[in-house]
A and B are shown apart, each in its own frame.
Chain A
Amino acid sequence: MSEELSFTLDGRRVPFQDGQTIMTAALAAGFYIPHLCFNPEFTPHGSCRVCLVKINGRMQASCTTPAAAGQTVLSEIEEVREMRRGILQMLFVEGNHVCPACEKSGACQLQAVAYYAGMLAPHYTHFYPRRPVDASHPDALIDFNRCILCELCVRASRDVDGKNVFAVQGRGIKAHLVVNTPSGKLGATDFNITDKAAQVCPTGTILRKHSGYEIPIGQRLYDRKPINVVGDVAALAVSKGGRRHD
């Protein structure tokens, strides 16, 4: 019987199988690496960079880097944490993330990851972009102010729902989420609130209408325990038997 493949994550041994990334192996072993654009049900994207870890001395995204035997992976060291905080701070100032009044607050993956990473303030100057809300759909609302361009809704709508409702348009700082209709309005699409694309947003961008704040403070997903203990929407999906959509 051959010896089990493994690498170390912050000094702890993590077994893996061929084809797994550092992220998937770590999550499977019960170790949390913060992430936003990663969702085990979808092909890794590597765009948010929040899952940066130091692998054999080099900074790399753990969601896209294949696990290899003998790797030394460092995640919870100050050098990595500082970079993560910087990335999160830039995400917060690039959009309009008003956590105190947001209905996703307490159950928001972005907010929970920021808490986990020790981000106490946005630090950078806010961009304050003007992004009108799209409430044209009877059951769903898109608040573009909170979009971090993780493209999970794009992937879910394309790969699972087969609808291609969403896309990212523009490049660099001008990149933004759009709805694939001539009017650009969600109400003009065949989007349904039960679609996969409606379930995967890690922020408060795609929301079910008329139901905000229904869960009392104290009972929301991250009110009592942090995200590394509770897990995120993606991890919860896997634990409930969610499958990967390649």
Chain B
Amino acid sequence: MKNIFSIVKFTLLTVVLFAVIYPLAIYGIAQFAPNQGKGETISVNGKVVGYQKIGQKFDKPNYFWGRPSAVDYNAAGSGGSNKGPSNADYLAVVQKRIDTFLIVHPYLIKSEIPADMVTASASGLDPNISPQGALVQVKRVAKERKLAEDKVKALVESKINTPKVMGTAMVNVLELNVALDELSKKGS
């Protein structure tokens, strides 16, 4: 019994070390990090419109869209579809997404649609799309915004993040759309 009592005391002391002192030390370090470790935000005219790392829902035709999301971009949770590659119902959903994408972008041929635009991300909060995913939307967005197509295309190209050594090429959808709003303001 004395033995167990010792172990309980030992446990509580190690709790203090690993679950109190350690996280507080990291919390202290975080005060020097971007936005004090509360997550980096993006503001427009001083108003926070989103987190830079967290994808958000765009379904209006005058914005660039992100990827399908299994949690509908509700960032109070997260998750993927967890659909297996051979699941017939799932494949029907993908087919439907392709058909819809073609209706909204009638100028496209099927083989131009990149897979990331019709498949759900792992977190449901993916903030990025592939460069191809943004480029195929240019014509639609330019038409909706009454902007010159080459201007919008140039904007997308300026927002493509190309890896120098390792990584993937991508576009942050929120940053692109914030820049797009600015471009519209200038244009009008």
Do the two chains belong together in a single complex? Answer: no
B residues near A (Cβ < 8 Å) are none
Q: Residues of A at under 8 Å CB distance from B?
A: none
